[in-house]
Structure 1
């Protein structure tokens, strides 16, 4: 189950990112990076923006800590990495 933390809900009042996009990013990311304290950064491109969702696992649940757009062209960033 995907659960939004209080912090994620509060931040999204300001950022107004559709919950459908956030959940889609967690379920079907284009990129997953390890972060500190066992957190994961899941990323997915929407138009010319990259949505990054910070998550952690608690048992069978995925907790969304926060979410934000990185911006820029995702494809060119991937090409630069390779």
Structure 2
């Protein structure tokens, strides 16, 4: 789930301190994978699985893409 969320997110938002938040829906929840870059390498900070209605913005927002 986490790799799929990072590589094929439904949306990516900008978080605090230059971090990015990748979202992928799974049922009534989403995977939120928070990551940042160490030079050019993406580094995963944390992952959690909240309810979809709390954070999901509707998709198709891509502030960043790991696979460009």
- Alignment coverage as a number of residue pairs: 57
Indicate which of 72, 77, 81 corresponds to 2:52. Answer: 72
Which has the greater radius of gyration? 1
Runs of 4+ in 1 over 3 A off after TM superposition: none
Q: Does 1:31 align with 2:22?
A: no
Aligned-pair Cα RMSD in Å? 2.1
Indicate which of 27, 31, 34 corresponds to 1:51. Answer: 31
- Structure with the higher helix share, 1 or 2: 1
Name structure 2 gaps, 5 residues minimum: 59-68
2:66 matched to which residue of 1?
none
TM-score (norm 1): 0.60
Name structure 1 gaps, 5 residues minimum: 1-20
